[in-house]
Structures are given as C-alpha cells and as structure tokens.
Amino acid sequence: MIKHLKVVETEAQKAKLFLEDCNALNDDFLPIKKAGFVLWPLNFEVKGEIVVCEGLSSNRLSRDYRLKLPLELRNIAPRAFDIFGSMAIIKINDEIMDFSDIISKTLLASNPNIDRVALDMGVKGEFRIRKLVMIQGDSNFIGLHKENGLKLKLDVSKVYFSPRLAMERKRIVDYAVKGESILDAFAGASPFSVGLAKKGCTVTSIDSNPEAEKWSHENFKLNNIKKENYEFINSKIEDVIQDLGVYDRIIMNNPTNPLPYLEDLSSLLKPNGFIHLYKIVEKDEGFKVANYLKSGFKSVSERVVHPYSPQSSMMAFDITRAVSNVRNTNQ
C-alpha cells in the first residue's frame, strides 16, 4: 500500500511540480486518475488529503538512476540532483568522490533529457556563484531552462540560479496582481522578474553581478517582455536605493544575507504592499522576523521553501505594510 496525495484534476500539475520540487513524488508508481481527482504516489507524507491504496506500478524503468548502479553504491550515491536545462547538477561528497565517474555516467545514461553532468562544489561570494566542474559532456554551462511556461537562459557558472525555487516563483506570480510595480532587489538572471512582467506588472530588477544584467536582458527578450515593462540596474542595491521609487511588492531573494537591507527597502514599500523576504534559518535559531520589522510592518505568513542543510531551511516571509487606521481629525 502506498500513500498518495489526492488533488482535484485542475490542480494536478501544480501539485506534481510541488512534489517533484521537494522530492516527495514516488517515481516507481504512476498517478491514479479517479472521478475528477488525481492521486499522486508519495515517497513520504506531505500536507494535504492523503489516500492510502495499492500503488499503480510503473512499467517504465524507474527514474531513480541509482537502481542501475552496482549494489554497493546504490545507497551511498546521492538520490537528489538538480536539472537545469539539459544539465544535471549533482553534489558528491568526498567519501564517494572516487566513484564520481560511474555515478555521473549512470545518471547520464538513465535520463534521456540530460546531455551533461556537472559537479556542484558549492555557492560562494557576493554574487552567489556556483562553482561547477563538468564531469560528463561538453564543458558549457549555458542552458535554456523551462519553468512555469517561461524560458530562462543563462550561464549557471556565472550567475546564480536554482531550479528548486520554481514553485516559490509561481506562488509569488500567482499572488501578484496585474499592473503592480515590483522591485526585485537581488534579481540574478531575473526569473522572478520575468514571470511578474509576463503577468503584466512593471518591474525594476537590480543585481550587482554584471552577468546578471546580461542574462536578464536575454530573458526579458526571450519571453517577449516589452521594454516599457522592465528596467535592469546593475548595481549594489545600497548604492541606488536613494534613486528608487515606491513599489507595491518588493522581492528580497538574498537568503544568506537579507536583514541588513530590510529597513531601507521597507521604506520603499507602498501602504498595503508586500515584501517577500527569503532567509536561511537554522533549525535551533528561534528566528523571529518580527524582531527586525519597523513599526507598521507585520509578517502575515511564513513557510519553509526547501531544506538548505540538515540543520537549516530556506524560509519565505510575506511582510505587509498595514495602512494606518488612525483618522486625521483635522480633515
């Protein structure tokens, strides 16, 4: 018997993306369709309506490449890896680095949509650039990634990008309203901005990495965003903050270091607007975003976006600026 997540058919694709994103989708079984509902097979229980029933065994080979590895490697090779365009990006720890060749060759052979495998050596520095070493296929880190109906092209060794944020970016685009003005303060190659501009918002995207500017322009163009709906500023946010306007929505996706910027960026938020702040939070830290908010601001929702390390998670905080209820009695 297998646990399944039951969702209405119209929400099935959204649920699938979410389950894939958090590795909860069990590839060994097929989805079951029943009277307007879809049951997605699970690796572990998630929030939502859970139905326990016989799984529909997949006749295809499992997408878990580890089943094709020699027995002694199956349980120590990494199960999870990211896919950016047609490139797999995998972390292999030092203890099993000697087996990186067989692991990456097996991964390549098991997935027809992958033509390169890059070893992920971690993200560093102000630009959050990922150090990558290509271990299978051409040493070319440029890829065309498809996400939420958008095309995103970039060199993943020169500008930050994480395919794991696809669901979060969709959540923000769904949340936003056409016509809003948006500040994407740490934009990278502009995956948030492009989605929001496509929805009909006007975006100002800022990033200090010159490669972010190059790929952002490419992405606005690729997705047919009109020039009047976006601008990109290649600068540190703190150097241009005095020249910026006010916004309905501000995205602060600099999760390793967002707090030094929160106070100044808060002053650019319109009444009733939202800041979406991302932060890596240690599990035993007892972090409370309220301790960092100016008066008149409150966090209305917080959620774990994805695990970051065994001890920490990336969290999203939706912060609003409430309109004062105090009446001006002089009027």
Q: Are 153 and 175 contacting, i.e. CB atoms less than 8 angstroms apart?
A: no
Q: List the interface residues with ligand SAM, window 203-262 (CB under 6 A).
A: 206-209, 212, 236-238, 253-254
The token pair at 204 is 């100002």
* CB nearer ligand SAM, residue 111 or residue 313: 313
- Beta-sheet strands, E only, within 159-268: 181-184, 202-207, 230-234, 247-252
Nearest distance from C-beta of residue 69 to ligand SAM, angstroms: 32
Q: Are 225 and 198 contacting, i.e. CB atoms less than 8 angstroms apart?
A: yes
Nearest distance from C-beta of residue 225 to ligand SAM, angstroms: 16
Which span sits near ligand SAM by CB under 6 A: 22-30, 40-48, 96-104, 159-167? Answer: 159-167
Which span sits near ligand SAM by CB under 6 A: 16-24, 160-168, 264-272, 297-305? Answer: 160-168
Size of the site for ligand SAM (CB under 6 A): 21
Pick the binder of ligand SAM from 40, 192, 230, 297 (CB under 6 A): 192
Which residue in the shown chain puts its C-beta closest to ligand SAM? 188
The two beta strands, 87-90 and 116-124, are: parallel
The token pair at 233 is 């500023």
Nearest distance from C-beta of residue 194 to ligand SAM, angstroms: 10
* CB nearer ligand SAM, residue 106 or residue 162: 162
Chain centroid to Cα 286, Å, comes to 24
* CB nearer ligand SAM, residue 192 or residue 274: 192
Pick the binder of ligand SAM from 186, 220, 274, 292 (CB under 6 A): 186
Q: Are 303 and 316 contacting, i.e. CB atoms less than 8 angstroms apart?
A: yes
Q: How far apart are CA 43 and CA 20, in angstroms?
A: 10
Q: How far apart are CA 125 and CA 185, in angstroms?
A: 17
Which amino acid, one-letter code, is at 190? S
Determine, following the binding rule CB under 6 A, whether residue 273 of this chain makes contact with ligand SAM.
no
Nearest distance from C-beta of residue 298 to ligand SAM, angstroms: 24
Neighbours of 329 (CB within 10 A): 5
Pick the binder of ligand SAM from 55, 85, 143, 191 (CB under 6 A): 191
Q: List the interface residues with ligand SAM, window 57-116 (CB under 6 A).
A: none
The token pair at 250 is 């501000």
* CB nearer ligand SAM, residue 14 or residue 164: 164
Helical segments of the chain, H only? 12-21, 71-74, 100-110, 166-175, 191-198, 210-222, 237-240, 259-266
Task: Tell me if residue 28 falls in helix, strand or coil.
Answer: coil
Which span sits near ligand SAM by CB under 6 A: 5-13, 33-41, 157-165, 175-183? Answer: 157-165
Nearest distance from C-beta of residue 207 to ligand SAM, angstroms: 5
Determine, following the binding rule CB under 6 A, whether residue 128 of this chain makes contact with ligand SAM.
yes
Q: How far apart are CA 74 and CA 76, in angstroms?
A: 6
Contact residues for 128 (Cβ-Cβ < 8 A; gap 6+)? 160, 188, 254, 256
Q: Which residues bind ligand SAM (CB under 6 A)?
A: 126-128, 160-161, 165, 186-188, 191-192, 206-209, 212, 236-238, 253-254
